[in-house]
Chains A and B, each alone.
With several copies, the nearest count.
Chain A
Amino acid sequence: MTVKICDSAFEPFIEIEKFQHGLALQGKFGATSIFIGTMRDFNNGDDVQAMTLEHYDGMTQKQLAKIIVSAKTQWRILDCLIVHRVGEIFPNEPIMLISVWSAHRGDAFEACRYLMEELKANAPFWKLETLATNKTRWVSNSSF
């Protein structure tokens, strides 16, 4: 179970493949459920040119660890990887990924969805958008 916070661009498929290659459980996982969040060039009807992701270093890791422990009590998870970007991000760049490995698809799908919803609700990240007009605004939770 690994959580990575990145302050520069990352390649989600390379991260997942490298992590999967290192899993001790080769041959044991039948199901991998992955979610990737990517920056859009629009939000709430406005064109967006960039975004700065602020986070509470330390609390992010603590909250994500709690979320993973909670998921493990609910589903049979062999392993999981969470990578989350912070800092300045441009449209089309990956923001975060969650990948869950398990023997069966139900566990993988449900745990991945749960981790994503809990991350959105509890992990201390905040988005500051720079619109095409150069105005900036903090994204409120309701916009998703």
Chain B
Amino acid sequence: MITLRYFASLRETIGHSVAQINIFEPHTVLSLWRLANPTLALPENILTAVNMDYVSLTHPVKNGDEVAFFPPVTGG
């Protein structure tokens, strides 16, 4: 099972902050998004992290990972 997290404006667009999904085939961050959000194209400029490290959309994911999607950060 993979935990998906959404933050900030993307969390509002999606309507929830956490989702969980089981995968039975190899997936990347991008294909995982499509699996979890089949009717919503991934917005431009979205950042992605796997297990709290920044990764690209082609990064592989596996059950047990935490995969996060969020807009550019603005802290400080």
Name the residue on A nearest B17 (C-beta): A54
- Across the A-B interface, how many residue pairs have beta carbons closer than 8 Å? 73
Cross-chain contact B52 with A139 (CB below 8 angstroms): no
Alpha-carbon distance A55/B9, docked complex (angstroms): 12
| Interface residues on chain A, number (Cβ under 8 Å) | 30
Cross-chain contact A122 with B54 (CB below 8 angstroms): yes
Alpha-carbon distance A55/B52, docked complex (angstroms): 12
Known: A56-B5, A56-B7. A124 touches B70 (CB 8 A): yes
Interface size classification for chain B: 10 to 19
Alpha-carbon distance A52/B73, docked complex (angstroms): 13
Cross-chain contact B74 with A56 (CB below 8 angstroms): no
Q: Which residues of A contact B (CB under 8 A)?
A: 37, 53-56, 58-59, 62-63, 84, 95-96, 105, 116, 119-128, 138-141, 143-144
Q: Which residues of B contact A (CB under 8 A)?
A: 5, 7-9, 49, 52-54, 68, 70-76
